[in-house]
A and B are shown apart, each in its own frame.
Chain A
Amino acid sequence: MHILAYELKVHPPSAFDIQHAVKLKDDIRRIRGLIKPERARYFVGLLALFVVNLSDVIAPLFMALAIELTEASLTGAEPLTPTPLALVGLNAAAFTMVAAVVVYFALQLTASLFRYPMMMKIAVPSHQIGQNIRRALAKKLLFQTQAWYDGKKSGDLMSIGTADIMAVRMMLGPGIMIAADTLMLVTLVLIVLFALSWQLTLIALIPVPFIYVITNRLSHAEFKGFEAVQEDLGVMTERVRESYAGIRIIQGYAREDHDRQRFADYSRRHFDKNLSLARVRAAFDPTLDLMLGVATSLVLIFGGIGVVNGSLTLGSFVAFLFLIRYLSGPMIGLGWSISLFQRGRASLHRIDELLDAPNSIIDGTETLVSPVGQIDVKGLTFAYQTPRAGENTQEKSGNGPVLSDISFRIDAGKTLGVFGPVGSGKTTLVSLLTRLYDPPKDTVFVDEKDVRDLKLDNLRANVVLAPQETFLFSTTVERNITLASNEAELEVGRVEELARLAHLHNDVTAFSEGYATLLGEKGVNLSGGQRQRLAIARAIGADPRVIILDDCLSAVDATTEEKILDNLREVLAGRTGIIVSHRVRAVEKCDEIIVLEGGKITARGNHEALMSAGGYYAQIADEQTRDGQNGEGHL
């Protein structure tokens, strides 16, 4: 119960959790469903487990028999038969010492050999089920929509994809194995022990409930301590990351000493957390050992008296000593497997919640056969449904419409400039064109077809967006550039050509491994300007009918910007283009420019028309050319 309560505290229970926490039946059905494809292997594994346990429990009886034979040969009396063996009709006198030892070893050998199929047929399939869940999860994630992602934190998704899957795996592997082991072993050992001496058995069982309670308590405390350490490790790591990332400031202001002291404090706190965990761990094994020790002492006292009285044979006594040890393992295991099941079920609920989430964008059915790239937007008004988690751009925080009554047409082959201040809805507008978000019905058309009716794959093959801040994958520069390209048709030299068009080639050749250089954690970092240029190269690589550049040159210096714009005009020849920017220079050569302010089109026309109209556009153009107000007059 402790573990469950803790789980609920970490992840605030959703209605889903509470509803399901009681539905044990449903869970069992779900778990059976998961195991179903692997059930044959599980069956073999459990069978092997049974053989292992049976041999393990019988072997000490033959050890006892050997002791009886030894004792008998010493005293010259008739050897006594341990009760369980006598019950199945065996007689000690029929055994020679060699036979007893050989049978003992044969049993040990059987137990050992069957451990192999036991491991392979339970642990391996449980991992396979884990992989199946991983695959289903990734498939779900890959086809979920941006609107859905807006309501999620990536940390939560990660924890479902890693920790929760692991918890389910642990439930299906060790959890099931330990549970089965406990059931089988306890039953078998108790049968044999009761047959040997039921009085002594009851006495030896006295510490057992304590073992269960201690395991449950301590494993709960350990789990909590472990979580605390992990959490604190995260905090400390973030601290370190900041110091290293901000090293120029720290060194530049000569504040290393302060920063070091601060880190030492964090490190000391982490030390303390680890110490609390160490306290629990230090108590764990010794305490369980003590319980076993208490049982042994009880057996020694009462069994010893029995031996003196003659009510217990020496062999039975030895068998007892060895068999009670088998009880402590399962008792520890029982507490453990119960917490594995508790954690596993809670994790399974979170996984299922994710897997069962409906897809909010429904794929269309039509395809553009010979697309030309005419864009029509008719009376588009749009508001975000989910407030975005962890982001604070003005554009997305409000509940009101981000775009109101937007209409325009771009004829095939023409270029549209979208101009406006930060937060005016520019990015939202272009996201709707590629259906990253779903526009209302009958508002956005490509070649006179509603984008909602088009197959997503077909739409995005023809309308390609280069976002303002693009994401780089931790693979080679080449693979990053060709992300949007059709890999099957990639010609030799195409990557370089794309990089040259985006003025990235010289940057790439400066890297030690050129286009094979890895980006990200294991490789190099790109500057903001390089990232933007890479985004442009990517979009060009897709070779689409419509290219949308969402403010992709804001971090590129002016000279380079000019050269890229020249190249772009070449690339755009024969294609439809949309250039989003807050710089007049970027949009001034477009066939038409729309000015967005507060989600509304406040002016439209070409550069000259807008300049002479004297509105926001002309005002900004004036500022940007006069003395670089708004940070746009880059030298």
Chain B
Amino acid sequence: MTKPLSKIEQEALQITQDPVLRKMLDEERVESEELDLALLWRLIGYLGPHKAVASLSVFLSLIESFLMTLPAYIVGLALDRAQGGGTRKPQVFDQALDGIANTFADYSNVGTTQTRVIVVFGLILLVVWCVRWVSAMATTFIVQKLGQQVVHDLRVDVFNHITSQGLEYFHKNPVGRLVNRTTFDVQSLSELFSDAFAQGMRDLMFVSVLALVMLSLDVQLAMILILSLPLLIIVALAYRKLARPSLRTMSALQSRMNGWLAENISGMRENQLYRRETRREAEWWSLTQAHQASIYRVIQAWGLLRPGMMIISGAATATILGFGYERVNAGLISVGVLVTFLEYTSRIWVPVRNLTEKFNVIQTALTAGERVFDILNTPTTMNDTATVDTSLAVNEGAIRFEDVVFRYPGTKEDVLKGIGFAVQPGEMIGLVGDTGAGKSTIIQLLSRFYDVSDGRVLIDGHDVRDYALTKLRSGIALVPQDVVIFAGSVRENITLGANYSDENVMKCIRAVCAEDLITRFEDGLDHVFDEGGRTLSAGERQLISFARALLVNPPILILDEATASIDTRTESAIQKALKELTMGRTTVVIAHRLSTIRDADSILVLRKGEVIEQGNHESLMAQNGDYATLYRAHTA
């Protein structure tokens, strides 16, 4: 459902001419216009496990609403008892409060009975305020806690859902976007919960209780106030209409400006190398200009909302005064009741104001909520199949590809066009070919990151789809080209959280010649790498990756060799470690180094998804085909 861009949005785009801003506004625009009930309902579903606390909060809110109507009531009653002006119709609460007041007033004989009664009323008022203080704190806290609890549950759900998605999903969705969904978007749902849902319930209860109390006091005056509510709502809706596009533009510009600043600080060298300074300055100028224009509109809408509401509430007060005068004179109400009503006028518009002021937050949260539930609604693509045999595990490490055809989901071209080969347990196979030849696809099919489009991938004679995913993958160790270092200790980075003894871990580290990496830290295995292991060189990261694989000790090893240059010192360590790692294991290697390839038991030369040559180094050289040409070209 795409709406056309509003005037203010067009204006911002015209000032800035910024494609990123356009994309941001486009994304925001797809949101649904009205409050999505299904979404709220789903959110309420998350309250299920916390039913008891939720009911408690509703109960407390009800008490609070009642307590909030009491002060003005007590003041009015006390006034009537002090001055006794006008006719006060007997009320249920009056009798109760009078009873308390008279009882306590009798305990003392200071001053007149009337003054004593007033003092007691004042003390009752104080007590009411204290009780309300406690109940308001409790309610607010419980509601906040509930909201955070829901958000926590949701966050964990989203994370679990995303991490069970196949690789395809991660290719389609940039990591940054997924991260935002998991943290910021989920977090803003807490605002939807506490500001919109919970506060809305509290406000609604308060208005209802207030209406009941007013009606019991005087129907006619009550009606004036109740009828002023729709007027307030009209003002609120008008504000919403006026402010919404500007608010949306303003927040889009704000995040665009933050993004602009961050990236231009990071890319400052390029800006200066390529003499973009003046142009960037102009870009920034136009962003700030558009930002200011949107702020102007937002403040303007705001500047109209407050007065609009105050005029209505002022008019309501004036009407109450006028009508009240008539009714007091007619002997229908007392002066105290009139004062109570005046007090109520200033209260009744607070809920509407609350809701309107929070409107922007709620809208943002709703949009965020939609995006979050979109994530949860996307089914996971890579699951255990119906024919799974949970007792299967990878033991020998024999690999067999039978006429494997593969096409990435949503594309038209086959990446693999009928590949067949077999690797005996303990052998090494090298994959050679240009970018796009299908080398990476082959190793991804092996670990079942994708399922074949046609043909079969067999491990130890069983289709990979018959293994439970976790069993299959525990049998295969992956050493990728770009090593990911997680924030955490060296130990955690090598065990990836599984339980292994330190002794075992150290043995593997020694085996891959990475001992030097550990001993240089005082805290050894407990040493915590900083953000992404920035301080490690590419070679050192490789070694950690090797240790990871060796520790698992799997029958199959997949090695995607690094292309980046590695310093000479680490290079020899890597060569030694590689020997250790591949020993006695079926190894599939995407080879970039000639030395690795030459020792392979067989080599597949791939071109555009087909095997064009196959054999070991000597036979391929003798064949004098593509491999030989390539090899000679590089050793010429």
Contacts and interface: CB of A to CB of B under 8 A. Distances in A.
A457 B278 CA distance: 11
A interface majority secondary structure: helix
A109 B288 contact: no
A527 to B, nearest CB: 9
Nearest to A158: B262
A70 B324 contact: yes
Nearest to A134: B288
B562 interface: yes
Interface stretch (B214-222, B300-308, B505-513): B300-308
Interface stretch (A13-21, A118-126, A367-375, A605-613): A118-126
A191 interface: no
Interface string B14-25: 000011100110
B301 to A, nearest CB: 10
B259 A298 contact: no
B interface majority secondary structure: helix
B264 interface: yes
A146 B325 contact: no
B23 A518 contact: yes
A338 interface: no
Contacts of A250: 163, 496
Given A97-B322, A630-B566, A154 B266 contact: yes
B274 interface: yes
B592 to A, nearest CB: 5
A254 B477 CA distance: 10
A66 interface: yes
B123 A297 contact: yes
Interface in B239-296: 257-259, 261-277, 280-281, 284-285, 288-289, 291-292, 295-296
Given A111-B310, A267-B156, A275-B148, A74 B328 contact: yes
A270 interface: yes
Contact of A233 (B71, B183, B335, B631): B183
A359 B265 CA distance: 16
Interface in A430-479: 434, 436, 457, 460-461, 464-465, 467, 470-476, 479
Contacts of B271: 142
A297 B70 CA distance: 12
B416 interface: no
B633 to A, nearest CB: 8
Contacts of A8: none
Interface in B536-585: 548, 552, 562-568, 571
Contact of A253 (B259, B280, B548): B548
Contact of A314 (B138, B164, B261, B335): B335
Contacts, number: 466
B564 A390 contact: no
Nearest to A298: B122
Contact of A108 (B126, B277, B317, B565): B317
A248 B545 CA distance: 13
Contact of A115 (B148, B310, B474): B310
Contact of A473 (B129, B263, B303, B338): B263
A135 B163 contact: no
B497 A286 contact: no
B55 interface: no
Nearest to B134: A286
B159 A249 contact: no
A483 interface: yes
Contact of A301 (B118, B318, B471): B118
Contacts of A436: 269, 272-273
Interface stretch (B4-12, B169-177, B383-391): B169-177
A631 interface: yes
Given A124-B295, A253-B474, A555-B563, A471 B75 contact: no
Nearest to A260: B160
B546 to A, nearest CB: 13
Interface stretch (A26-34, A234-242, A340-348): A234-242
A558 B470 CA distance: 37
B568 A101 contact: no
B487 A239 contact: yes
B83 interface: yes
Contacts of B187: 233
B152 A268 contact: yes
B498 interface: yes
B118 to A, nearest CB: 4
Interface string A510-543: 0000001010111111001100000000100010
Given A255-B497, A521-B176, A525-B174, A238 B325 contact: no
A258 B548 CA distance: 15
B59 interface: no
A124 B298 CA distance: 10
B85 A71 contact: yes
A248 B480 contact: yes
B79 A271 contact: no
Contact of A627 (B141, B295, B598): B598
Contact of A240 (B83, B183, B274): B183
A479 to B, nearest CB: 7
Nearest to B142: A282
Interface string B116-148: 001101110110111011001110110011001
A264 B497 CA distance: 14
Given A304-B78, A457-B275, A635-B592, A101 B318 contact: yes
A243 B159 contact: yes
A241 B531 CA distance: 11
Contact of A109 (B114, B132, B311, B346): B311
B273 A119 contact: no
Contact of B174 (A261, A281, A470, A521): A521
Interface stretch (A287-295, A379-387, A410-418, A564-572): A287-295
B115 interface: yes
Nearest to A633: B594
B447 interface: yes
B172 to A, nearest CB: 10
7 contacts: A74-B328, A264-B156, A267-B156, A282-B141, A298-B122, A321-B343, A633-B595
Given A63-B342, A300-B75, 15 more contacts: A67-B338, A102-B318, A135-B285, A135-B288, A260-B160, A264-B159, A289-B133, A293-B129, A301-B119, A304-B121, A307-B83, A392-B535, A464-B274, A521-B177, A635-B631
